[in-house]
Amino acid sequence: MKREEVALEFRRKVLHIFFGLFLALAILGGVPLLALLLAAVLFIIASALYRLGLLPFFGVFFDVFEREHERRRVPGNAVIQGLFGAALALWLFGVVPAAAGMLVLAVGDAVAVWGGLAFGHYTFPWNRQKHIEGRLLGVLLSAIALLLFYPFWKAVVAATIALLIESIPLRLGPLKIDDNLTVPLAAALILSLLPV
């Protein structure tokens, strides 16, 4: 990976951590489901206006934090899907599982990428861009973060499944289904299904 790509991934994952932690705290603080959905809709509108050239100042954000192919397709797609992921997790599973799902996204996904870049040698057969070592580190640190709410074994199972799902490239027609949608939903689902 080139130096500028590594720098971009570092910036993206720092934003990822702050975004995920912010949403986790907002959910724990009682943010209404409607507010999350409204934020997603507003970001969709802003993305469309940016593509039409009507909000050029958004380009600063997209240039700093998004990969070029993402900017061309749906600018802000990761944020949009993250807001929908938080909203769906909150609606389907409640406050604590949704907040925990956002913690797995914030901590696990970022650490998995950084760990993969730093220590990665082995990749998944279904996705040669994702390193197994990074996912293991992401699972461990996610599980530690989830100790705020769940026993360690439950946190490990949920983080493992969520980060395995994150490693699978998913699409809905031409649209890539972002891990910001799948990770919080998968983690919240597993945490809701596992016995106490």
CA atoms within 13 A on the CB side of 7: 5
Lowest-pLDDT choice from 15-19, 74-78, 91-95, 123-127 = 74-78
Using one digit for the tens of pLDDT, what is the confidence trace for 146-172?
999 999 999 999 999 999 999 999 988
Residue 59 vs residues 21, 47, 75, 82: alpha-carbon distances, Å: 24, 10, 9, 19
For the chain, give the percent of residues with pLDDT over 90. Answer: 68
DSSP characters for 58-87?
A: HHHHHHHHS-HHHHHHSTTHHHHHHHHHHH
Placement of tokens 């702050």 in the chain: 18
Instruction: Give the total number of structural domains in the chain.
Output: 1
Residue 21 above 90 pLDDT?
A: yes
Query: Residues 6 or more apart from 87 whose CB is under 8 A from it?
Result: 33, 36, 37, 40
What is the chain's Cα-based Rg?
16
pTM: 0.90
Mean pLDDT for 42-54 is 89
Per-residue pLDDT at 101 exceeds 80? yes
Statement: residue 181 has pLDDT above 80: yes
Mean pLDDT over the full length of the chain: 91
Contact 83, 36 (CB under 8 A): yes
Instruction: Give the model confidence (pLDDT) of 58-94 as tens digits.
Output: 777 777 777 776 767 777 888 899 999 999 999 999 9
pLDDT, residue 168, reads: 95
Task: Give the C-alpha separation, 82 to 116, whole Å.
Answer: 22
Residue 143 domain boundaries = 3-193
